[in-house]
A and B are shown apart, each in its own frame.
Chain A
């Protein structure tokens, strides 16, 4: 398996522009997580989905952030409009459904977002 795939790997944009980050989870995994990592705040959970349904979006910082999971193999995280303080590395992770399982999270390589 190719693992969790994220695109783009790097994104540089100007303040006020719309940014869309994409994630393809590992096939067969039923939970998907979006995280943001910064030096100041560490790793923050933004939102997670179970069976394509958003379960907890309390970590989404503002209404400028939105996430969708239209099917089991694709999710997007959108920021509109973007601001310099959104600059961070955004990770997507997925977890398989295994009864009594380990709940190991498989992380993608991340998207480094820079908003100027």
Chain B
């Protein structure tokens, strides 16, 4: 079955880069996602990458995908205190339904 793993906690200083890592097991993944959860709120899609891509950049965000190693990362450049949140890695397999498998979430703490 599908499984998504990520570390629980990351602490960085404001202005530094943050890198959040994730591994997944399903080789039939079509989309891989990063969702962000701010305190007291639901998850919100932050960015995504299609499985035939290696990299995607969106302003301060860079997503890297290594399909061979089933490894996904999210880099946040110039991390700000507003980036403090829980970041969830998720994957969608090639199945017909819209189910997405989420990781446990990485809590990013930005120190001013």
Chain A contact residues, majority secondary structure: strand
A104 near B105 (CB under 8 angstroms)? no
Tally of A interface residues using CB under 8 Å: 25
Name B88's contact: one of A31, A41, A43, A108 (CB within 8 Å).
A43
Contact with B along A28-63 (1 / 0, CB 8 A): 001101010000011101001010000110000000
Query: CA of A50 to CA of B31 in the docked complex: distance in angstroms?
Result: 19
Q: Does B45 lie at the interface of the complex (its beta carbon under 8 Å from any beta carbon of A)?
A: yes
* Across-interface contacts of A56 in B (CB, < 8 A): 99
B104 near A105 (CB under 8 angstroms)? no
User: Which interface class (under 10, 10 to 19, 20 to 34, 35 or more) fits B?
Assistant: 20 to 34
Known contacts A91-B42, A109-B42, A102 near B31 by CB under 8 Å = yes
Write the nearest CB–CB distance from B72 to chain A, whole angstroms. Answer: 16
Write the nearest CB–CB distance from A79 to chain B, whole angstroms. Answer: 20
Write the nearest CB–CB distance from B89 to chain A, whole angstroms. Answer: 11
Give the interface of B toward A (CB within 8 A). Answer: 31, 33, 35, 40-45, 48, 88, 92, 97-105
